[in-house]
């Protein structure tokens, strides 16, 4: 099958052009041949008055500029009456046939099928010639945009496919740090995934981040069948489809609602852990303050959908008092005692006892409703802890203006998770185990990170103990020396630049050591998760 696919990919444009141009080409060749043959056979007279016959080259040259109506004159000698009669007879069909052929070419250039075949051919060549590791992004909505931008900012090659022409047009006019090959195709089709490079030796992973769970499922199935060793990260917001993906070994299942709720649990009940989480994942994480939230009191959740229900269950597990507002509580399976309404009206919020509430969650799928809920709630009680769900990225300014304590942005959450899991998988493993670190350890980590100079450029990266990344360490190990983390950090740092980085974790085989002590011995092949000054991220040690 792959042989036929390669042949088809290489020949599609040529075959299509020849098929469309077959009749015009036959007509042009036939008329030109007749005109040239006539000029060669009809005798002429040279400048000495002697008989002369035109060569095929001269005849073809003359017919070429005659047909295109350029008209350079009679060459190499003035024509006889017989020659002029023949030219007069042939000038009309040659010009007409030439215009017909030229018109067919113009029509072909505007033909959508031809354009698509040409784009596919160019795209295939671009992907084929990639020589550095790259990731395939399936879907260029808000999430795909954030992913492509994040990857290219880190000088990581990315390839994009999406079935929306407008999305790909938007990509083509956007500024990225690197060229991004992109194509308008259905990402759920295996032939398109193959064309996009899932079998390319430099392809390191696939991100299925379309807004359709079933399409993401098909992408995951195709990738795991065609290249089982390829890492696949899928956006999924449906529990049934999530279980389906997990059943055949999809590497990373990213449910933005579950992830956001996990972050809220950290924020509300493990504030120091949350501060560390933000330091590691947010560009402005260094500004995260250590503020404890008063969770004791009533929490109101407006909208019992995917976010509302997940938050409700999490709040109950931590013993919080929760009341739900929903337009159709019975249909949504809301708990008994829920208030019927949207939450956008003051009367509904008052019925939900907002005066004694400590926090409110606007969790509907409509941004206008969420903003209205929060504005009304703030008028009734100004000191609420506010959690908002933002559905559309274009509304960033509005949700910034509402000054919510936490805003759930599905697309941003998915993009961050895909980046972490595909480009720095140890960071994902570390964060998933973060809750189990003692608060004292977390506090020490936060203090160490905040002491690092130039904290605005804080970066997290993986370091492998090998000859390429840690030649000094390998040399010491070859001499039977013992190297610990304290030695590693001292080798990397320079006194005038301050502490270079903090070691968050070490992975040895299948074992992950969280926040190892400075005297922990390291060995060749260890994977070390570091966070620190970005200037040290690419330096060999």
The secondary structure of 408-442 as a DSSP string is: EEHHHHHHHHHHHHHH-HHHHHHHHTGGGS-HHHH
Long-range contacts of 406-411 (CB under 8 A, 24+ apart): 406/263, 406/264, 406/267, 408/256, 408/257, 408/260, 408/307, 410/143, 410/256, 411/141, 411/142, 411/143, 411/146
- CATH level 3 topology of 421-536: Alpha-Beta Plaits (3.30.70)
pTM of the model: 0.82
Reading the block at residue 373, the tokens are: 């809920």
Q: Are 257-418 and 421-536 equal in CATH topology?
A: no
3 state SS of 270: coil
How do residues 379-424 score in pLDDT, each as one tens digit?
999 999 999 999 998 899 999 999 999 999 999 999 999 998 898 8
Whole-number pLDDT of residue 456: 59
Q: What is the pLDDT of residue 49?
A: 87
**114-254 CATH choice from 3.30.470.20, 1.10.3720.10, 3.40.50.720, 2.40.50.140:** 3.40.50.720
Range 13-110 classified under CATH 3.30.750.24: no
Q: For 215-243, give one letter per residue: b (16+ CB within 10 A) or e.
A: bbbbbbbbbbeebeebbbbbbbbeeebbe
For the stretch 333-364, what's the b/e string if a residue is b when 16 or more beta carbons lie within 10 angstroms of its beta carbon? ebeeebbebbbbeeebbeebebeebbbbbbbb
Helix (H, G, I), strand (E, B) or coil at 462: strand
- CB-based burial label for 31 (10 Å; 0-12, 13-18, 19+): buried
Retrieve residue 495's tokens. 């006194």
Bridge partners of residue 182, in order along the sequence: 160
Cα 7 from Cα 5, distance rounded (Å): 5
Structure tokens at 270: 């493990």
Q: What is the largest CA-CA distance in the chain?
A: 116
- 48-79 pLDDT, tens digit per residue, is 889 999 999 999 999 999 998 887 788 889 99
Give the burial class of 389: count Cβ atoms within 10 A of its Cβ; 0-12 exposed, 13-18 middle, 19 or more buried: buried
| 317 CB-near residues (< 8 Å, 6+ apart) | none
Which pLDDT score, from 0 to 100, does residue 344 have? 94
d(CA 125, CA 485): 45
Q: How far apart are CA 271 and CA 269, in angstroms?
A: 6
Give the per-residue pLDDT at 2: 44
For 219, 263, 280, 344, the CA distances from 274, given in Å and listed in that order, are 33, 7, 10, 30
Phi, psi for residue 385 in degrees, rounded to 5: -85, 120
The CATH fold assigned to 257-418 is Rossmann fold (3.40.50)
Blockwise average pLDDT, block size 10, the chain, 541 residues: 44 81 94 96 91 94 90 86 94 93 90 87 93 96 93 93 94 90 95 95 96 96 95 94 93 94 93 90 58 88 95 95 94 92 94 96 96 96 95 92 94 92 89 89 89 73 89 84 84 63 91 90 92 80 79
Which sequence spans correspond to the domains of the chain?
13-110, 114-254, 257-418, 421-536
């Amino acid at each position: 099958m792959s042989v036929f696919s390669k042949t088809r990919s290489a020949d599609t444009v040529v075959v299509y052009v020849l098929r469309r141009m077959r009749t015009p080409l036959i007509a042009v060749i036939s008329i030109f041949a007749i005109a040239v043959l006539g000029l060669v056979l009809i005798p002429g007279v040279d400048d000495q008055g002697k008989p002369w016959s035109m060569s095929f080259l001269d005849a073809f040259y003359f017919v070429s500029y005659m047909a295109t109506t350029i008209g350079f004159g009679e060459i190499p000698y003035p024509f006889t009456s017989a020659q002029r009669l023949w030219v007069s007879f042939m000038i009309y069909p040659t010009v007409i046939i030439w215009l017909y052929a030229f018109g067919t070419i113009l029509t072909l250039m505007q033909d959508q099928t031809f354009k698509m075949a040409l784009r596919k051919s160019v795209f295939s060549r671009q992907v084929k010639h990639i020589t550095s590791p790259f990731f395939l992004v399936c879907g260029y909505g808000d999430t795909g945009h954030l992913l492509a931008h994040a990857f290219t900012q880190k000088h990581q090659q990315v390839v994009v496919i999406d079935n929306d022409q407008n999305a790909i047009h938007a990509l083509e006019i956007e500024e990225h740090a690197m060229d991004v090959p992109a194509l308008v195709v259905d990402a759920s089709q295996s032939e398109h995934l193959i064309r996009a490079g899932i079998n390319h030796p430099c392809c390191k992973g696939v991100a299925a981040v379309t807004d359709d769970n079933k399409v993401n499922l098909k992408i995951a199935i195709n990738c795991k069948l065609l290249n089982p060793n390829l890492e696949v990260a899928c956006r999924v917001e449906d529990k049934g489809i999530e279980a389906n993906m997990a059943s055949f070994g999809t590497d990373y299942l990213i449910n933005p609602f579950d992830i956001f709720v996990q972050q809220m649990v950290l924020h509300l009940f493990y504030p120091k852990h949350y501060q560390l989480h933000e330091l590691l994942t947010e560009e402005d994480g260094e500004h995260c303050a250590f503020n404890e939230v008063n969770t004791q009191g009533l929490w109101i959740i407006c909208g019992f959908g995917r976010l509302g229900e997940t938050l409700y269950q999490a709040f109950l597990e931590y013993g919080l008092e929760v009341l739900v507002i929903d337009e159709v509580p019975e249909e949504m399976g809301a708990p008994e005692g829920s208030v019927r309404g949207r939450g956008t009206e003051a009367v509904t919020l008052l019925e939900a006892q907002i005066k004694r509430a400590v926090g409110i969650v606007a969790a509907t799928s409509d941004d206008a409703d969420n903003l209205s809920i929060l504005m009304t709630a703030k008028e009734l009680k100004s000191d609420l802890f506010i959690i908002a769900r933002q559905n559309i990225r274009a509304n960033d300014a509005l949700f910034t203006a509402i000054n919510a304590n936490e805003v759930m942005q599905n697309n941003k959450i998915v993009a961050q998770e895909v980046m972490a899991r595909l480009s720095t998988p140890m960071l994902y493993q570390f964060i998933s185990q973060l809750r189990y670190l003692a608060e004292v350890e977390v506090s020490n980590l936060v203090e160490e990170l905040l002491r690092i100079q130039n904290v605005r450029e804080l970066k997290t990266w993986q370091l492998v103990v090998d000859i390429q990344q840690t030649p000094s360490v390998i040399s010491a190990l070859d001499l039977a020396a013992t190297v610990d983390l304290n030695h590693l950090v001292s080798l990397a740092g320079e006194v005038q630049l301050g502490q270079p980085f903090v070691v968050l974790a070490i992975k040895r085989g299948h074992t992950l050591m969280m926040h190892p002590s400075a005297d922990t011995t390291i060995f060749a092949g260890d994977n070390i998760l570091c966070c620190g000054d970005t200037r040290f991220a690419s330096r060999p040690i």
